[in-house]
Chain A
Amino acid sequence: MSPTRDSIPREHLLWMWERLTLIREFEERLKWLVETGVPAGPVHYYTGQEAVAVGVCGALEVTDWIASTHRGHGHCIAKGADVRRMMAELYGKATGTNGAKGGSMHITDVSIGMLGVNPIVGMGVTHAVGAALSSKVRQSTQVAVAFFGDGGASQGAVHEAMNLAAIWTLPVLFVCENNGYADATPVEYAVPIKNIADRGAAYGMPGVVVDGQDAIAVWLAAAEAVHRARTGHGPTLIECKTYRYYGHHQGDDPHRYRTLEEERAARDRDCIKKFREWAVADAVLTTEELDAIESKNRSLIDEAVRFAEQSPLPAAGELYTHVYVAGPR
């Protein structure tokens, strides 16, 4: 039986709120740090899209896999990455998730099933399909999630990956985060149909459109797709209609290609605001509980910044390590 909005356990709602606000706090703080001179390289803020990462990852086990996009900080945090090590990676410190060998566009933590932020648009989608193939061959129950954007939806790799997943009935979710823009290209220019989810039909898989500003709606859709995948019924395409609040990256001024009215309308549907209003109105969670979590998250990010600032730089010899994998098995 499919889960419903009312059947979500309280602890799960608290977890969702905690992750939504932790991503928001991480990205807002990072933006401030970058704007005040911290050299974090190119960063693509996830702000505005939190409900997608949290809704989807909330439907997964820690042993399940996700493959991310260039806009991946939210996916990492939703899957359970340590924000201190993420921040240290962005600061280029030895304690970073990737030992400062990757940066924002490569944050990876395989210990929690996070197979990597990936800045070559669409390529991570094929990796999720490979992880799902691995699960099937090894007769595991793990599922994999491929995140991609409305930009990635036009990449050949994504179509090839969906086709492979469909013909091999692989346990994978294709989650399209349609935030309206690929760099500065509006989705209605690059995609000739209204819903990218309709493309599921071309590969014989369900295609579902979800309000990407509603974490619970995303969670419900993801939970159903995960159930399908785990029970051997193959892939699902879920399109989450969402919005990125800032430019493509830290140096991009989005007002060269979109209007303030549009941005205001999107912010009116803010996923964190919506979640709070719903939770309080339905008396599921109290204002005090929600505030306490937000306040705790601010402290966590304070601590993450301190950790990053105080961590050592990588040793010069690190330039040469990890080029080849050491030794045959």
Chain B
Amino acid sequence: MSAELKSAPRELTFSQAINEAIRLEMRRDPTIIIMGEDIAGAAGRAHLGMVDAWGGPLRATRGLITEFGAQRVLDTPVSEMGFVGAAVGAAMTGLRPIVEVMFVDLIGCCYDQLLNQAAKMHYVTGGQVELPLVVRTAYGTYAGKTRTYGGGAGAQHSQTLYSVLAHIPGLKVVVPSTAYNAKGLTIAAIRDNGPVIVMEHKFLGSAAKGAVPEEAYSLPIGRAEVVRQGRDVTLCGIGRMTHVCLEAAEALAREGISAEVVDVLTLAPLDEATILESVKRTHRFVVVDEDTPTASMGRDIAARVAENAFEWLDAPVKAINAPETPVPFAAVLEALYVPSAERVLGAVREMLS
């Protein structure tokens, strides 16, 4: 999936691509504001020459305050329920707010504003109210092969939790996986007239680098993408897990197994058609999800495949999730927690044996 582009791409990180997406949209539309905790930092200290101390916990909002000023780039006190609620009210009355909930683990503090207010406002008002709201939130662990140590952020700063958002009718939930699609989906989220949650994986924030065109472009919400073609099995990834799927597909290729990889990109509304078409080509299906298994997106997608593509399947569907535990602290345990390419390989080998 790619937009029609005029400019030559440069290499940006995932976080830089999101920064550029927000910046370009804020230049285009003065009704866009952005709010969150330390999205700039050092609020009110400009007289001491201190501005933009943080630029967001993942530096994704760096430089916005110097370009757009404190009227449109609002550092908030620690009050997720309050400022997400204010964003809902602002979205009802002429602004297009982007809010940052620092980590998805904090979503409990403002869950009502998402599940009861933002998600349902258009419906319960009979379409009177549009709600152009973007909620950006970081998720997942930092654990990875490039790190000697794990992320170590523990049980309340490492979760995935997108299933509790995708579950609510009315919320769109996007899960970009590359710098390119992070920019395109963030712009699409900002231009959408309803609430969209953008899930930003902490590890990908700096680790995912790639070619990103300079101009603004939007990628369709609700569209999955086949990112590698194959014949023997479909590996379906969510966010960072798409990279795990690609890694597994590479290893499988060396064993003579041809794996297709589908990057889900949007969890709600889910692009069932692209996933089912892939299964009809490969006849085997594995979905990889960093979330815990019960009521997860992984199992939901697996269930949809089992229900709608049963006659095409040569083997039972398989959902690979994190274990049914909180995220552990110790690096050795955290590495076991996050679904790995090895687990995917094991599942595929068993399926084909």
Contacts and interface: CB of A to CB of B under 8 A. Distances in A.
Interface of A: 65, 67, 96-102, 106, 108-111, 115-116, 118, 120, 123, 125-138, 144, 156-157, 159-161, 163-164, 167-168, 321-329
A126 B129 contact: no
A26 to B, nearest CB: 20
B91 A325 contact: no
B131 A325 contact: yes
B273 to A, nearest CB: 17
Nearest to B82: A160
Interface string B210-234: 0000000010000000000000000
A322 B126 contact: yes
A163 B76 CA distance: 10
Contacts of B83: 160, 164
A30 B93 CA distance: 31
Interface stretch (B146-154, B185-193, B198-206): B185-193
A285 B1 CA distance: 71
Interface stretch (B114-122, B239-247, B274-282, B315-323): B114-122
Of A97, A102, A159, A160, the most chain B CB neighbours within 10 A belong to A160
Contacts of A96: 126
A327 B113 CA distance: 23
18 contacts: A65-B93, A97-B126, A101-B126, A108-B124, A108-B129, A110-B92, A123-B116, A127-B88, A127-B117, A129-B86, A133-B89, A134-B93, A137-B90, A157-B85, A157-B112, A160-B79, A322-B123, A326-B193
B170 interface: yes
A94 B179 CA distance: 46
A325 B129 CA distance: 9
B90 A116 contact: no
Contacts, number: 165
Contacts of A123: 85, 112-113, 116-117
Of B71, B82, B123, B191, the most chain A CB neighbours within 10 A belong to B82
Nearest to B77: A163
Given A120-B112, A323-B170, A324-B194, A126 B93 contact: no
B125 A108 contact: yes
The 3 closest A-B pairs by CB, nearest first: A130-B89, A126-B85, A160-B82
B121 A116 contact: yes
A130 B125 contact: no
Of B91, B112, B125, the most chain A CB neighbours within 10 A belong to B125
Nearest to A170: B86
A133 B81 contact: no
A312 B225 CA distance: 44
Nearest to B35: A133
A115 B113 contact: no
A325 B92 CA distance: 13
Of A110, A325, A326, A327, the most chain B CB neighbours within 10 A belong to A325
A169 to B, nearest CB: 12
A108 B94 CA distance: 16
A81 B83 CA distance: 28
Given A120-B117, A163-B82, A329 B191 contact: yes
A110 B129 contact: yes
Contact of A324 (B74, B191, B269): B269
B172 interface: yes
Interface in B55-79: 71-72, 74, 76-77, 79
A153 B87 CA distance: 21
Given A324-B170, A328-B191, A138 B85 contact: no
B104 interface: no
Interface string B157-201: 000000000000110100000000000000010011110000000
B95 interface: yes
B183 to A, nearest CB: 16
A109 B94 CA distance: 15
B128 interface: yes
Contact of B93 (A131, A167, A322, A326): A131
A137 B117 contact: no
Contacts of B256: none
B305 interface: no
Nearest to B85: A126
